[in-house]
Amino acid sequence: MEAEAKPILMTPEQRARFKQAVFRCAPLPADWPADFAIITAYDPDGLPTTAELNRAADEALESELRAAGHRLHRITGGSADGVHLEPGWGVPIGLPGAVEFGRRYRQLAVFYIQGGVLSLVDCADGSAEDLGRSFRAV
């Protein structure tokens, strides 16, 4: 049996970029819950990889979330200028489950929206930082 990989720690520079993330998506459905996570499978361990590997990881994450019975909404996070974009999934899931999926897909962090308020959640230790702003898509 393989030992579980230790989560990679986010650098201060990566944390700063995550905190500036903007989100792009179609309008959320009218009955979408106020509490949900945004989880991506792109760029495992915070390192750029190929488009082909990113798409394969995204498809695996989508398949696993759907198999677990989760409702999904495509949400892409990234830089305000659109230079860096990571397609992910809006998922009505509890915070522990969101962190578990983030870890499984070797993510540094996930975003969590609770009552409309956006937080950055570190997958290494599960700590959440309120970003002081509401979730909104551009």
What's at 23, amino acid-wise?
A: F
Is 41 part of any domain? yes
The pTM of this model reads 0.93
Is 109 part of any domain? yes
24 near 138, Cβ under 8 Å?
yes
Is 56 part of any domain? yes
Provide the domain count of the chain: 1
Q: Which positions ≥6 away from 14 have C-beta within 8 Å?
A: 46, 108
Is 83 part of any domain? yes
Is 24 part of any domain? no
Is 118 part of any domain? yes
Q: 22-24 and 73-78 as β-strands: parallel, antiparallel, unpaired? A: antiparallel
Q: What pLDDT tens digit does each residue of the chain (138 aa) get? A: 344 556 678 999 999 999 999 999 999 999 999 999 999 999 999 999 999 999 999 999 999 999 999 999 999 999 999 999 999 999 999 999 999 999 999 999 999 999 999 999 999 999 999 999 999 998
Is 117 part of any domain? yes
- Residue 115: how many CB atoms within 10 A of its CB? 8
Is 10 part of any domain? no
Structure tokens at 33: 């819950």
Residue 83 sits in which domain range? 31-134
Separation CA 131–CA 15 (nearest Å): 11
